[in-house]
Chains A and B, each alone.
Chain A
Amino acid sequence: MIKLQDVNKFFGEHHVLKDINLEVAEGEKLVIIGPSGSGKSTTVRCMNFLEAPTSGHVFIDGEELTQKNKIQLVRQTSAMVFQSFNLYPHKTVLENLTLAPIKLQKLPKEEAIKKARKYLAIVGLSEKENAYPSTLSGGQQQRVAIARALATEKKIILFDEPTSALDPETVQEVLDVMIKLSKENITMVVVTHEMGFARVVADRVIFMDDGRIVEEGKPEHFFENPTEERTKLFLSKILR
């Protein structure tokens, strides 16, 4: 479904991604962990070309993602959930969910609203459909953002540290929604530090450090016997 081939990324002189090779199967739940600055966010952002790789190739569904086709291909295949929610503040919750379906997927308004309500119900925020994002708590905003990603009914949803900006109390409500989603056949790539979530949801976990994939395996592998020293050191810090 997603394939990164020899992907390198430079920010100026800074070499952020070093020869990343990675394949994500359809329906797979992949969790990427690693210290900050390890390149994990940049990796997911390459998957929808929010960052274009300096060299290397990105394939979505067998088709190479390029500057030319990125808008079309991303529009058809993937959605993203951000650390800072990035809801449209001038639109109501419902309008946040219907904007792309109406304007980009050319869905009739009634149908878009019907779909939006369905996904708002899934994230448990039906009663907030006419609220503006600024009146919601962080956890609620992130659930709306997830509903917005769902409403476009893409095969892939990319999560870039979805719970890092939340109060500790609201983290779980967002994770619960994501766990619920993981039962569906959606391909999920999640950058997160929530190892508990990874254990429940992930088919595979990748540990990144200094722009490279250091270790990968089932979540149990990371809990029980990580092989690399750097992985052990990192996990000892986040698992406490």
Chain B
Amino acid sequence: MFGEGFLRTIEVAALALMLALVLGIIFGVISTSNNKVMRGIARIYVEFFQNTPLVIQVFFLYNGLAIAGLRLSVFVIGVLGVGIYHGAYVSEVVKTGITSIPEGQVEAAKSQGFTYIQYMRYIILPQTIKIILPPLTNQAVNLIKNTSVLAMISGFDLMYMADSWASSSLDYGPSYVFAGLLYFILCFPLATWARKYEERLKRNDTTRILYDPCEEAVTC
């Protein structure tokens, strides 16, 4: 029973993460463009989904759309709800990454005749990946934990299984502790990897300042 929920949580998290990455890259890139309308659209998306609770968004997908005649499975609602919600955060991470790349990179690309899409793809985004990987991984960790919102709409995920096992056996404590442990097993390695990667990145940055014999000669 817990195994089933565990698997469901992994499935929802994996698909939602993919959706969040796609949305995040698209809106992150849009939010750095020169087009005011596009930037406005990205802003609205980010502000709307960051500033309303995920639970309400998921309830809306579950109940609101049903009233409008659109019935989605709880699995799809989970992927969409969590994916769109975290897409807004990923978008901000991507935007920060892009703006951290020196303007000279864009100028070099433009002077060679790259279009906006081309230089984003070949020159700017590949450089941002290294910078945004740690915050992105933290988003993945939050995303995994947030899939537990599915329990509120009987999503058969890990949290739901813990809920139902707890209420049928009345072993509330062990049930939730065990579920928590399973979430921990998923999240801890990711968080640890992100932290180590970031530390390594910082260390490499300092070693990159190479010893420059010319500079020394000048000052002597």
Contact = CB atoms under 8 A, between A and B. Distances in A.
A212 to B, nearest CB: 25
A50 B122 CA distance: 19
Interface stretch (B48-56, B87-95, B210-218): B210-218
Interface stretch (A72-80, A113-121, A178-186, A231-239): A72-80
Nearest to A152: B112
Contacts of B115: 71
B126 interface: yes
A167 B133 CA distance: 35
A5 interface: no
Contact of B112 (A79, A84, A167): A79
Given A88-B105, A90-B126, A99-B122, A80 B111 contact: yes
B112 A50 contact: no
B214 A104 contact: no
Q: Which of A74, A80, A103 has the most CB of B within 10 A?
A: A103
B199 interface: no
Given A169-B214, A170-B214, A86 B112 contact: no
A166 B212 CA distance: 13
A168 B107 CA distance: 26
Interface in A71-106: 71-72, 74-76, 78-80, 82, 84-90, 99-100, 103-104
Interface in B168-220: 208, 210, 212, 214-215, 217-218
B69 interface: no
B108 interface: yes
Contacts of B127: 88-90
Given A88-B123, A90-B126, A50 B111 contact: yes
B99 interface: no
B214 A167 contact: yes
Contacts of B113: 71-72, 74-76, 100, 104
Interface in A26-82: 48, 50, 71-72, 74-76, 78-80, 82
A137 interface: yes
A50 B107 contact: yes
Nearest to A135: B210
Contact of A86 (B108, B130, B208): B108
A26 to B, nearest CB: 20
A99 B113 CA distance: 11
A130 interface: no
Contacts of B102: 84, 86
Contacts of B215: 167
Nearest to B209: A134
B59 interface: no
A168 B210 contact: no
B108 A103 contact: no
Contacts of A88: 105, 108, 123, 127
Contacts of B212: 137
Contacts of A74: 110-111, 113
B10 to A, nearest CB: 32
B130 to A, nearest CB: 8
Nearest to A83: B104
B104 A86 contact: yes
B142 interface: no
B122 A168 contact: no
A134 B208 contact: yes
A171 B150 CA distance: 64
20 contacts: A50-B107, A71-B113, A71-B115, A74-B110, A74-B111, A75-B113, A80-B111, A82-B108, A86-B102, A86-B105, A87-B108, A90-B126, A90-B127, A100-B112, A104-B112, A104-B114, A137-B214, A152-B112, A158-B111, A170-B214
Given A74-B111, A80-B111, A103-B122, 14 more contacts: A48-B110, A50-B111, A74-B110, A76-B113, A79-B111, A80-B107, A82-B107, A88-B105, A90-B126, A103-B118, A104-B112, A135-B210, A168-B218, A170-B214
Q: List 4 tightest A-B contacts by C-beta distance, closest first.
A: A75-B113, A86-B108, A80-B111, A86-B104
